[in-house]
Amino acid sequence: MSAMSTLPDRAEVLARLNAIIDPKSGKGLSDAGLVQGLVLKDDRAGFMIEIAGQDAGLYQPVREAAEALLKSLPGVAKAHVALTAEADDARPPEPPPAPYSVRVRRGARVNPEVAAPPPRPAGPAPLNPAHVKQVIAISSAKGGVGKSTVAVSLACAFVQLGYRTGLLDADVYGPSIPRMLGTDADPEANAEKKLSPIVAHGLKTMSIGFIVDEGAPMIWRGPMASSAINQLLNDVAWGSAEEPLDLLIIDMPPGTGDIQLTLAQRVALAGAVIVSTPQEIALIDVRRGAAMFEKTATPILGVIENMAYFPHPDTGAPIEIFGRGGAQATAKALGAPFLGEAPIDMALRQSCDDGAPLVAVNPSHPTSQIFIRIAAEIAERLKNDDGRPAPTLIVE
């Protein structure tokens, strides 16, 4: 009989959690709606408690009691209860960034020397997580362009190049990194009360997908999601004083909302890599994403055109399913480097589905070599970066 079969069912667990009283409402924990994302899987159990930032101290004993209760359940070997706090309402809101833009006609060439770089928005100084040298965001303002596949491939490529590399899955609404890396481990806290990252294929990685069930919906407002990302970023032991992480790759969620702005404003990003497919409908969002990074003084390290072509099975000739060259032309219009093309590759797709990234398991594959070359170019740009971001562009 498996460990899973010895676990009590969800209704029984929720009923038992009602024995723990919410200090604010006086209701049981379940009836108060504080049990979020309950996971009962194999030999582990866990959930999250969503609270306001100023109540963190009040709910710490509740968290400890809930975790102890889960550990006492039959069949549970590991239990984890996380407090997810909204930003402190007492803190004054951050003012918007100072206006700064350069208007250009569509397709016009841009001189990056036309104006001084914009200042970072007022507010807390951006910082990297402890013992992390540089942080890179992999972004696409549009979903469905293969951004997570590119993020995993580049992270594995940096490992191939000898960098101590981490990968943060910042898409709390649709985490895919655990599946792509083929791991479903349970993060554990170290002596400093920080989560130890999961190690897979030479990468240190963290994702909300390690904490909640794969099919569980994350029904969170923006502040809650941003708070969760802050914890995954700063409450994880990415490196140490003796062995700091060289690079932390952040797989950004699609769009330009709260999570993206939180990361761009509060993390000292070394730069952003923008991923797009060739067609215009995706490139519209690329320009939106580029404007967000430029307004938050984040250097754009370059643009990658993903799914640029499909090699003919017999001849290898490129079949341009989505067109070709659109991302390269957009990079030129934005004054950003074009890092290269990645094809539609069945081996790459299959490797991600199987949890065995192509770059990690077959670095000599032609598609793997593309990502390794791009990673080497990004690393070189990081070495030579003078810290001056490009101007914000408004393409008319």
Higher pLDDT, 1 or 21: 21
The C-alpha atoms of residue 120 and residue 97 are separated, in whole angstroms, by: 7
Q: What DSSP letter does each residue of 268-283 carry, written as one string? A: --SEEEEEE-SSHHHH
Global pTM exceeds 0.85: no
> Mind listing the pLDDT tens digit for each residue in 135-193?
999 988 677 788 999 999 999 999 999 999 999 998 887 788 999 999 988 888 777 77
Please list, in sequence order, all residues whose beta carbon lies within 8 angstroms of the beta carbon of residue 52, skipping any fewer than 6 positions away: 85, 86, 88, 89
Task: Tell me the residue range of the domain where 141 lies.
Answer: 102-395
CA–CA dist 119, 113 (Å, integer): 16
Domain boundary among 85, 114, 146: 85
Q: Is residue 193 part of a domain?
A: yes
**Which residues touch 239 (CB under 8 Å, ≥6 apart)?**
130, 131, 132, 164, 166, 204, 245
Q: Is residue 128 part of a domain?
A: yes
Does one domain contain both 73 and 126? no
Closest Cα partner for 152 from 200, 196, 186, 198?
Answer: 200
Task: Based on the fold, state whether residues 30 and 58 are members of the same structural domain.
Answer: yes
Confidence of residue 41 (pLDDT cuts 50, 70, 90): confident
Domain count, the chain: 2
Question: Is residue 230's pLDDT more than 70?
Answer: yes
CB atoms within 10 A of CB 260: 25
Q: Are 100 and 391 in contact (CB under 8 A)?
A: yes
